[in-house]
Amino acid sequence: MERRNFLRKTVTGAAAIGVSSFVPGGLSDVFGQTAPGNKIKVALIGCRNQGWSNLATFLQYPEVECVSLCDIDDEWLHKRAADVEKKSGKKPPQLVKDWRRVIDNKEVDIVIVGTPDHWHCLPVVAACEAGKDVYVEKPLANTIEECNLMVKAARKYNRIVQVGQWQRSDPHWDEAAAYVQSGKLGVIRTVKVWAYQTSKWTLPVVPDSAPPAGVDYEMWLGPTPKRTFNQNRFHYNFRFFWDYAGGLTADWGVHLLDYALKGMNVGLPSYVYGAGGKYAYPDDAMETPDTLMATYRYPGFNITWDHACGIGAGLFDRREGLAFFGENGTLLLTREGWEVRPEPNNNGRQFPYCYPCDTERKEATPRMEAVAWKKGEGKGLFLHVGNMLDCVKTRKLPNCDIAAGAEIATLSHMTNISCRLGKALRWDNQTGTFDDSQANELIKADYRSPWKLPKV
């Protein structure tokens, strides 16, 4: 019996008969430092930026050991091997450039997928098939079709898949959502969500070139169209090209729109209209819009999305966030915390007051109690990883289960599809399709040979 299966059956059995209460430290004696031979063994595919942040956070938990690193770029593969050794005192025993070797490694319990968006689906499905649990970066996938396949694989093989939308483990986000659902704000007619990003300016056009030494560029392209190497399409800036990602809407939108839906306790809208384009930098290299506004219509209220590259002052002078506008007050929510700003009563008078000499004017009283700024703890990623590790042991669904990640990634793709086609679209959640044949073509994943879309 493989060690991984033994450990999971041990945990399941202990939970079923209540054994943990008789064991000092409970289930921590099955996993973790009290039983060093039973560590949870993780592997990272995609080592440069957020992938490394994820692995570094996993390594803050003493029950975790890194046994494999994978990247198509030798520079980052060996740099991260040194970083792991610095953190843990031990080099990962496996360094590879082909992610399939990670899946074949029977030691691996959890695969962290920190690759660009176009490389999420295949490793996640393969890991699920191989009986491994997965932590995958957001957005879940680069197409709606891939999202659906990944959910199907996780359910078919009964795997724990946590999507890296770590706000779902940061307590102040759920606290704010619960306040919205309490009814204290009164009738909510509008939810505004925005991301104004000065960190994402223009992307000047540069000529094609040879790939850097040590880079397996063919593997980096994977199932996407064959293209000559261009540094603008590589590493961080892949986000701005349709082959690999969905721009700011997919990058930031999945974090923030997720809590617009969660706060309002709704799923996907039946209507979306996204309008935008390259308004600020029409001649630069980016394909995705530098400016985009979208409206999602629900019975009785709208949710809106608004993003802009190269501008830093959004609503309430916040670079990004979301606001629930109720008749009694507005709840503002960001990564830093949340607050409620009350609406004033009119004291029986019609606003606005037109006469400065109106001596009968009274100071407006608020319609509800204000909630002063409640600062978040800033431990979202750490808690998200902790939740993942707990779910690997208990087999409970994680805070951002793959179905939740798929839903909000689908919303970001719906937005981009509407914007790209320049038309409003209606969505049928039962069939998972639009009322438009062009839009339905953009739902699909078109893989380049020899790569094939997984069959689940």
Give the tens place of pLDDT for each residue, 244-265: 999 999 999 999 999 999 999 9
Q: Whats the size of the chain, residue-wise?
A: 456
pLDDT at res. 201: 85
Largest CA distance in the chain: 87
pLDDT at res. 99: 98
- What is the C-alpha separation between 81 and 257, in angstroms, rounded? 35
CB 401 within 8 A of CB 161: yes
Say if residue 284's pLDDT is above 90: yes
Say if residue 17's pLDDT is above 50: no
pLDDT at res. 346: 73
Q: What is the DSSP letter of 73?
A: B
> Residue 205 burial by CB count (10 A; 0-12/13-18/19+): exposed, middle or buried?
exposed
CB 134 within 8 A of CB 127: yes
CB 144 within 8 A of CB 74: no
Alpha helices in 230-379 (DSSP H): 247-251, 253-264
pLDDT at res. 352: 53
For the chain, the average pLDDT equals 90
- What is the C-alpha separation between 58 and 85, in angstroms, rounded? 14
Nearest to 154 by CA among 382, 390, 398, 384: 398
Residues 6+ apart with CB under 8 A from 317: none
pLDDT at res. 396: 97
Q: What phi and psi, each to the nearest 5 degrees, are found at residue 163? A: -95, 140
Give the tens place of pLDDT for each residue, 21-68: 222 233 333 343 334 458 999 999 999 999 999 999 999 999 999 999
Residue 364 banded pLDDT, cuts 50, 70, 90: confident
CB 274 within 8 A of CB 307: no
Average pLDDT over residues 389-404: 98
Strand partners, 323: 192, 332
Q: How far is CA 316 from CA 172, 192, 254, 327, in A?
A: 19, 11, 21, 18
| % of the chain residues with pLDDT over 70 | 88
Give the tens place of pLDDT for each residue, 339-357: 999 999 876 554 554 555 5
Q: Give the alpha-carbon dihedral of 98, 101, 102, 108, to 10 degrees.
A: -170
Q: What phi and psi, each to the nearest 5 degrees, are found at residue 387? A: -65, -40
Question: Which is more confidently placed, 31 or 194?
Answer: 194
Alpha helices in 48-138 (DSSP H): 50-58, 74-88, 99-104, 121-129
Average pLDDT over residues 2-31: 34
Say if residue 15's pLDDT is above 80: no
Model-level pTM?
0.89
Average pLDDT over residues 155-182: 98
pLDDT at res. 296: 98
Residues 6+ apart with CB under 8 A from 283: 205
Average pLDDT over residues 395-399: 97
Average pLDDT over residues 279-297: 97
Strands 329-333 and 337-342, by their bridges, are antiparallel
